[in-house]
Homo-oligomer: A and B are copies of this chain.
């Protein structure tokens, strides 16, 4: 029996063009980030977003997020995010480590999306005195941990609200490509790029191997970020293999094509059993009500996926999920 993996987009292979670019990086160059490829990243991403940024590669989205939060938030400050945000729920305390103990302040919102109102409910009761940790940074995720996507208008409203309240803004874009693919707008619009200070642009789940891009639109943060990056053991000595992955993903909009492909596969799965969906499917994650018996039945047919709760499952598609695999899952779901 064939195993068909819907466990995680982290299980997917590396894209052929990324492999080619990495092999080409075998040519000797300066160590760390002194190589030509690493040195070219600022220009490359600044062009894509139409706003100047400083770029640091990192081996994980966790590191990219935590570095950004540490550059934005003093140890005695607070970071507002959704209850389900990756930085709160899935990073083993990395934000607290990198920031030296900033406090995460949890806001609510449907689909793991916060709103100005849910943020206000968290921060407005906080007296501004030294006894209370003060909110400093707003951390958003695009697409969210429940597979939902903020519209450009929603993001613009959030960043305007943040500016009004004096909050810095970091955007966790582990699945940013899927968000852009869903929205059909530019990367700049999908990130509300004029209103954010930093973006973790994820490539690993989307056909890369081990390189994410941290973009600092507040370029004044670049120097401290590079020092924190080294100090966190993130400055790989053969950095050209990291930079090569990022350049390759930007070539011919591979990042966007890959995002579209994953979203398409997710839609095939979602449409097979719309009545089971916990939430609308914007990106490449499908959350479905499925009883224990139903999940058992699917697994018996070779489908691998995570339980989401006692009564639901999560299916994740990837850039290379085949039409056959998605179709097989769709059929199996319909047949339940």
| Residue ranges of A at the interface with B (Cβ–Cβ < 8 Å) | 5, 7-8, 10-14, 19, 23, 26-32, 58-64, 66-67, 74-76, 89-94, 96-104, 130-134, 204-205, 209-210, 224, 226-238, 241-242
Contacts and interface: CB of A to CB of B under 8 A. Distances in A.
Contacts of A66: 233
A210 B233 CA distance: 12
A75 B103 contact: no
A50 B327 CA distance: 50
Nearest to A316: B31
Contact of A231 (B93, B209, B231): B93
Given A100-B101, A103-B104, A237-B205, A14 B30 contact: no
A130 B91 CA distance: 8
Contacts of A102: 93, 96
A58 B205 contact: no
B100 A241 contact: no
B7 A131 contact: no
Contact of A131 (B59, B92, B204): B92
Nearest to A95: B101
A264 B241 CA distance: 27
Total copies of this chain within the assembly: 4
Contact of A230 (B13, B31, B94, B236): B94
A235 B62 contact: yes
26 contacts: A10-B238, A11-B29, A11-B238, A12-B28, A14-B26, A14-B241, A59-B236, A60-B237, A61-B237, A63-B232, A74-B227, A75-B100, A76-B93, A76-B227, A76-B228, A91-B131, A94-B231, A97-B101, A100-B100, A130-B226, A130-B229, A204-B236, A209-B241, A210-B210, A210-B241, A232-B232
A233 B101 contact: no
B5 A92 contact: no
A28 B101 CA distance: 35
A62 to B, nearest CB: 4
B31 A8 contact: yes
Given A23-B19, A26-B14, A209-B238, A233 B94 contact: yes
A96 B101 contact: yes
A60 B91 contact: no
Which has the most chain B C-beta neighbours within 10 Å: A5, A29, A98, A133? A133
A93 to B, nearest CB: 5
A91 B231 contact: yes
A197 to B, nearest CB: 18
A32 B10 contact: yes
A273 to B, nearest CB: 24
A130 B92 CA distance: 6
Given A130-B230, A241-B210, A30 B7 contact: yes
Contacts of A233: 58-60, 62-64, 66-67, 91, 94, 98, 232, 234
A231 B26 contact: no
A242 B67 CA distance: 22
A168 to B, nearest CB: 16
